[in-house]
Structure 1
Amino acid sequence: VSPELRPAICALPSTHLAQFPAVAALAGQPERIAVLPLMQLLTITTCPEPWIQHDLYLIHDGTTVFYVGQSGCAFTRVWRHLQDGFKGRSLVGKFVRVNWPRSHRFTVELMPSRTASTDDAMCVNATRDRAEQELIGALQPCFNETHNPRPTPVPAGYKSPQATVSRPRHIKTMMREAEQAWQQATNRSAWEPPVSGLQDREEEA
């Protein structure tokens, strides 16, 4: 879907990919997807207008997809996972916390499931559900249980979500450290809105 994941999707057998038309469509339309490092997302507390309609999200590190999810606003839901990771309410949120600061380089992708022809609320929900199921089926994320008969094992080198962690103790600490890391990575102190809802990939080089 992003440049990192697109080769993995395109490498799927055509008979397999045919089962996931929504995934194939997204892989061919990168301009519809917002891609940003987790450390950048942690510096943004209000959903930017270009992302408000994005209702699907991925959290991954390279080609290893940890979680696929959906919500009315994907940006807000990712933030909820991060906050709930400190309360034991989100497995992927806890995974981010126990692997901090390495996890600040994880990638978050936000994307819309709907099209101009899916304005009806029931149609929107059905489209979102179907797209989420397709993403899970195609990418086999580590922490999704539903619609995922063969989840990818967490690769060696990452701490388990069940690991004991002493820090960071609070989401505000994570936010502060993420901002410092983002400033060092980009040589700037303020977040700038992405063009057309996309992170400028050149800044990540």
Structure 2
Amino acid sequence: MNKRFHWLEAKQLDRVTNFSTEIEPIKFALSHNIEAFYYCTFAKNKKYYGLKHNIKYLGILKNKYLKHVEFQILVVIKAISIVLTESESVLMVNQGLIRHMLPALTLNNLLKRKNKFVSDIRTTPTSPKTFDQKMKTFHKQFQYAIKYFDGFSFITPFMEQYVMSRYENKDYKIVNWSSGVDLDLFNPYNYLSR
């Protein structure tokens, strides 16, 4: 069985303005002959950006509240189905779906599968009014990934350093997906001496 890359993200793809950030890892995997899929939801329209075979929308409900609940349930079911049918694939999720992977992770271990679980961090909370509380929530969720996941993906080396500075173990497998950003321009350390 071929290895596959499955990215499950709590995003309404038709509402994001930076869709290239969402599909860059899929295109990278495909360029290296790895079968890749991106699982998400939508607000009004399903958009594929030339990747109809690879972008999989989970859910059919129209009501935004029910759609949210439906997506959460379907993510858990999808992850379990991947673990049941594949043995050496990668499942990557954003921070909002880390805990949703715990049933699949448990099953993966029980079945002695070699599927790998990766947490992808594209952003952290940014609102000054709620920053401290939201960061506590972020790290509360991220601790599950620290404890159980096989690796981590960050949008920049700075984001990696910022998030991982709280955690003692430095032996994590980490990759950075720059999404075309000029890393020097957006590196805050370059501006400290000014």
Q: Using structure 1 for the length normalisation, give the TM-score.
A: 0.26
Which structure has more relative contact order (CA 8 Å, sep 6+)? It is: 1
Higher strand share: 2
Q: Using structure 2 for the length normalisation, give the TM-score.
A: 0.27
